[in-house]
Structures are given as C-alpha cells and as structure tokens.
Structure 1
Amino acid sequence: MTTIEYEDGLGPLAADALEIGVAPSPFGMVDVRVSGEIDFHNAAALRDTLLIALTSHRGTLRLDLGAVTFCDCAGLNALLAARAAALRAGRGMCITAAGRPVARLLDLTATRSLFA
C-alpha cells in the first residue's frame, strides 16, 4: 500500500501500487502525475482524486501518465468518468504523456482523441 501525496494540502489517500501527485501549475492548469498500476483495486482512488482536483482547482487538468506500468478497463473508466465530470463543469482534461500500457489501451478502445 502506498500513499497518494497531494502537493496542495488536500491530504493523503491510500491505494495499492499507485502514486498520484496533484499540483497547480502556472496559467491556471492543474498537473496530475500518476505512476504505478491502475486496475480494479485502485481505479476508484484515481477517479476520486481527479474529481477532487476538479472541484478544488480551476483550470484544465493535465495528466501525465507516462509512468503508469499497467492500466485496465477500470482505469479507463475512471479516466472517462473524470473527463465527463470535467465537461459538465465546463473544464478541460487532457493526457500530456502516456506510457505504452495507457497508449495501447487508448488506441484499442479508440478513446485517445477524447483526451487530446
């Protein structure tokens, strides 16, 4: 079990084999860095963290998923749920970096363009 660290003081959240960092960036963006495995056991933690970031900050969420070593359909569903919430709030959410597992999943499901 690892701890998800929030750089903006939102507090820790436990998840298996997953690390998430959230930090406001210049120009009204919010940078979210994810590393480790995103699967059925911790996809809800990712979704919840993204939803908290959406409600706690203004601006587009920029996801760096370059260090994600595994992502299954539960992870994709978490990303899609957060994207839907961002759209409802009139906000943007994009993936700025995707490692091979995430890129392959996005390509196989034809969802890459949703996070451009």
Structure 2
Amino acid sequence: MTPPPADPTPTPFPDAPDSRRIRVAVEPTATGTVLRLGGEIDMDTAHQLDAALGRALSDGGERCPLSLDLSEVTFCDSTGLNTLLRARQRALDRHASLSLTAVSEQVAHLLDITRTAPLFGLPPSPDRRTPDGLRHRP
C-alpha cells in the first residue's frame, strides 16, 4: 500500500485543529532564545502559545533570556495577554528574562491600553489614544 503524501504545510502543532491560526518559530541564539509568533492569539490558540513558551523556558534553563517577536501577530485578546503575563512570571521565577523585541500595531495597542508594555521592556506610547480618545499618561 502506498503511504499518503506528506502534508505540504506542516504546522508546529499538527495535532491541534486550530493550529493554522497561530505560528510559532523557535530560534536558539548565542544569547538566548527568540520565539517568532504570527497569526491570532486568543482563547482558542493561547494554549498552543503557552505550551511553546513553557518548552522554551524549560529548554533555555535558568537565567537564559527569552525574546518574543510579535510583529506578525494579527490579533491578541485578553487571554493572549494573560498567557504572556503568566510566561513573564514563570521566567521571573526561573531568574530568566522575557522581553518583547517587536510587536504588531494591534499588540502595541493592547499593551498600551492595559498599561502592561513596561512589564515586557517596552515603553508606553504617549502618542496612542484609547478608544475614548484620551491620551495615556507616560
């Protein structure tokens, strides 16, 4: 019997039905690990991000910095933000750092309105306005 053809678009989480909505690429570097994320981070995909972050923190060992590139994230809701905040706490518990090296406009807006950007090493943007038109205080 002939085996079925290989899937031309493998995903990092082939067993997850919604795995095409989020992309995670892991890049070990000389100074730590970079996770490049793309797609949507919401209540349906946050568990995949959480698993990838957990593996990266475990594989990196203590004091190994973890950087996240979120420049290709098209959507992130409160579940995604909570996943990032929990990963930051796990990194702190391991005496490692977790920082955001790049963010999409959507993620930047979320971090600004929740005032969590500084927790990830990003300055708050004084030019951003909330939906009600008010400027954030630096």
TM range (shorter): 0.7 to 0.9
Question: 1:1-116 counterparts in 2 under 5 A?
Answer: 3-4=11-12, 14=16, 15-27=19-31, 29-58=32-61, 59-116=64-121
Shift of 1:16: 4.5
Q: Between the two proteins, what is the percent identity of the paired residues?
A: 41
Output the CA distance in 2 between the equivalents of 1:4 and 1:107. Answer: 30
Task: Give me the whole-angstrom Cα distance separating, in 1, the residues matched to 2:89 and 2:11.
Answer: 26
Q: Which one has more relative contact order, counting CA pairs under 8 Å at least 6 apart? A: 1
TM-score by length of 1: 0.87
Q: Which runs of 5+ in 1 are unaligned?
A: 6-11
Please tell me whether the aligned partners of residues 37 and 70 of structure 1 are also in contact (alpha carbons under 8 angstroms). yes
- Structure with greater Cα Rg: 2
The whole-number CA distance in structure 2 between the counterparts of 1:109 and 1:24 is: 30
SS in 2 for 1:19: strand
For 1:12-45, what per-residue CA distance to the aligned partner results, in whole angstroms no more than 9, with x for missing partners? 6632500001121122x10100000111100111
Q: Report the RMSD for the aligned CA atoms in angstroms.
A: 1.5
Q: Provide the rounded CA distance (Å) in 2 between the counterparts of 1:64 and 1:31.
A: 7
CA contact (8 A) 1:30 1:60 kept: yes
Runs of 4+ in 1 over 3 A off after TM superposition: none
Question: How much does 1:57 deviate?
Answer: 1.4
Looking at secondary structure, tell me which structure has more strand per residue.
1
The one-letter amino acid paired with 1:17 is R
CA distance in 2, matches of 1:35, 1:4: 12
Q: Which blocks of at least 5 consecutive residues in structure 2 are unaligned? A: 1-9, 122-138
Report the residue type matching 2:57 in the other structure: L
Instruction: State the aligned residue count.
Output: 108
> Between Structure 1 and Structure 2, which shows a larger proportion of helix residues?
1
